[in-house]
Structures are given as C-alpha cells and as structure tokens.
Amino acid sequence: MGRVGPAESGRALLIEIRFHGRGGQGAVTAANLLVDAAILEGKYAQAFPHFGAERRGAPVVAFARISDRPIQIHSQIEEPDIVVVLDPRLFDLVDPLEGLKPGGYVVANARENPVSRGDYNVWCVDATSIALSLGLVVSGWPVVNTTMLGALSRATGIVGLESVVKAIKSNFPGRLGEANAAAAERAYREARPCPAGPGGSGG
C-alpha cells in the first residue's frame, strides 16, 4: 500500500489518518477524496468528520482509514499513523500531534518545519501559495485540501497521485476539477522532507 506501515505476514494493513484544518479549508472533503482515491485502487476505506465548532475559521478535524481488508472499526482515531495539517497556525491553538505514533508522518502546509518535538517524518509544502496561484479561493480563504492530498501522496505513498487526480476530477468537474487536480500535482512535485525543527527530529 505504499511506504507507510508495511503489513506483517498474515496481518491486515490498516492506516489511520487525521486531518486538521479550519472551517472553510476543506478538511472533511480532503478525507472523503482520499477515501475515493483509495477505493479506486481496490482498497477498503472510510472517512468521517468530528463535529465541533462549525463557524468558518474554527479548528476542524476529519478522519480517514485505509486498509487492504474490510474495516470493522468506526471510532474516532486517537493514535493516527499520519497527521495532515492544513494550517500551520493550528499548532498554536490545538495539538495536531496528539496520539501520533512514533515514526508517524506529519504532512503540513508550511514553508518551515512547524514540529518542535517527537520522532516523526515531517513533510512540508506551501499549499497556500499553490492554491492562491491557481485561484482556489472561497470567501477569501485559500482552499488547500486538494493541494495537501498531492503532498500526502508524495510523502507517504498510501495512494498514488493518479488516483488522487481521478478522485478530484470525478468530484469537481470542469475547470474547478482541473484547477484542483493541478494543485495536487504541483504539491506532489514540491512537497519535501522538512529539516528538523527546534528540539525535534523533523523528518
């Protein structure tokens, strides 16, 4: 299934992903698109949101699971393998790293490493600049969800870029789909391991 968590002989491979964003950035949609991409590859997957404050700009959490076998659990994800952070300012408001497994992946919309602790594989991409350059703005907010899916594919390999692009275009037809697919493709090219942040190992 990729570079994250290779399955042991006879055991199912289950990858758990938690998305952190702000209302209006599309964290829930990102989780759903990731599931669509996984299903295109013949995998089992589920996505669901965590409902809290729903106002624009408030912290939002969404979850996704991907497995090579049917998924029997439906609870919230407390110990993810991967955390995707759509807005680096969230590190000042909440703890996106809570419960993240040692050696897990952080894929962040950031120019510099926002992680200051832990043994994690940290990847960065300037998703905001990519979204703005392609006109992916709603009510003044850069919509970075599809951009981050391209970076997630590059960093972890849990789904291929081709599947991400197909999922985006099937959900957003026409020019909107083309722009979002272009954002994912560009993020795939530009995502990179971040140098270690102060006090942390980076990636």
What H or E segment, with its residue span, contains residue 18?
strand 14-22
pLDDT for the residue 202 = 41
Cα 81 to Cα 8, 15, 87, 165, distances in angstroms: 16, 6, 19, 23
Asked if residues 158 and 4 have their Cβ atoms less than 8 Å apart, the reply is yes
Name the class of domain 14-193: alpha beta
In 126-167, where do the E strands start and end? 137-138, 141-142
pLDDT for the residue 57 = 67
pLDDT for the residue 12 = 64
In 41-197, where do the E strands start and end? 44-50, 59-67, 82-85, 105-109, 121-125, 137-138, 141-142, 192-193
Which ranges of the chain have pLDDT less than 70? 1-12, 51-57, 196-203
pLDDT for the residue 49 = 85
pLDDT for the residue 199 = 43
Asked if residues 82 and 105 have their Cβ atoms less than 8 Å apart, the reply is yes
pTM value surpassing 0.75: yes
pLDDT, tens digit, 9 for 90 and up, residues 83-136: 999 998 999 888 999 999 999 999 999 999 999 888 999 999 999 999 999 999
pLDDT for the residue 3 = 62
